[in-house]
Amino acid sequence: MKIFEIFLLDPLRQLPGFAAVLAIVTTLWALITDTAESSMLQTIIVAGVCWFAFRVSKVMDEAVYDCLYRPQREKLFFWKGEDLKKARDKAAKKVFGRDYGEAGASGQIYPDKKFYDVAKTLAKNTKQWENRIARLNDWSKVARTFVALSVAAIIVLLVAMGWADLNATIAPYARRLKFFGTVWAEVIVAIVALCLYLHLRVKHNIELYEYVADHVVHVRTKDREVPYIFEDILSKDTVVTQAQA
């Protein structure tokens, strides 16, 4: 059991969202093949497909999310774009003393280190990050992966329409899925997964910025003041009171 934990469970914990993808796809595969047990080869193939889709879908972060919600976008995206901007400006003002645009213009935000990374660094060791904020990001990765899997299924189904051998191979599996074994069903799944991905990812960012804005305090060091989030032993109120004193 210790070997199982070291070589399988520990790596999965380092890949937020992947374990959920693997569990869901493995369950679906059992339904498709009408068997609760799979051969070692089938297990490896399923895990490999999940891993490939999980990694490939990462391009959506820049190609889709950043394109719709990047700070430099002139017209805010209609779905929570305004909420994201307000939360980002509020957090930037708490960290840098000015909103995001002004902080960027003054060189406090560097192109190679996004403000998201700064906010994440401040919040990542807190319980709120572990229990809530990070979980939203993890589930967005699950949804993102199912966009990739659905697109792959659409391509396979379309190719099978003109390739008799492939169609004969996948037909039994498609029939077990009934409606979900059709192109149109996979298109619907892809659209739903895409919308869910965007919703969870923007919600993750908004909650991260709001948490930073509400909990960051500035602590005096030998050279300067630095932003910090205290938790457990020292609370925000304690730090503020000491600083004012």
Q: What is the pLDDT of residues 173-217, one digit of tens each?
A: 777 777 777 889 999 999 999 999 999 999 999 999 999 999 988
Q: Give rounded-to-5 percent helix, strand, coil for the chain.
A: 75, 5, 20
Split into its structural domains, the chain has a count of 1
Most confidently predicted of 136-140, 216-220, 229-233:
136-140
Residue 10 lies in a domain: no
Residue 50 lies in a domain: no
pTM: 0.81
Residue 166 lies in a domain: yes
Residue 205 lies in a domain: yes
Residue 64 lies in a domain: yes
Q: Read off the tokens for 159.
A: 């190719």
Number of residues written out for the chain = 245
> Whose CA is closest to 244, among 224, 223, 218, 222?
218
CB 122 within 8 A of CB 95: yes
Structural domain span for residue 186: 57-244
Residue 7 lies in a domain: no
Q: What angle do CA 211, 217, 223 make, to 5 degrees?
A: 140
Residue 12 lies in a domain: no
Residue 132 lies in a domain: yes
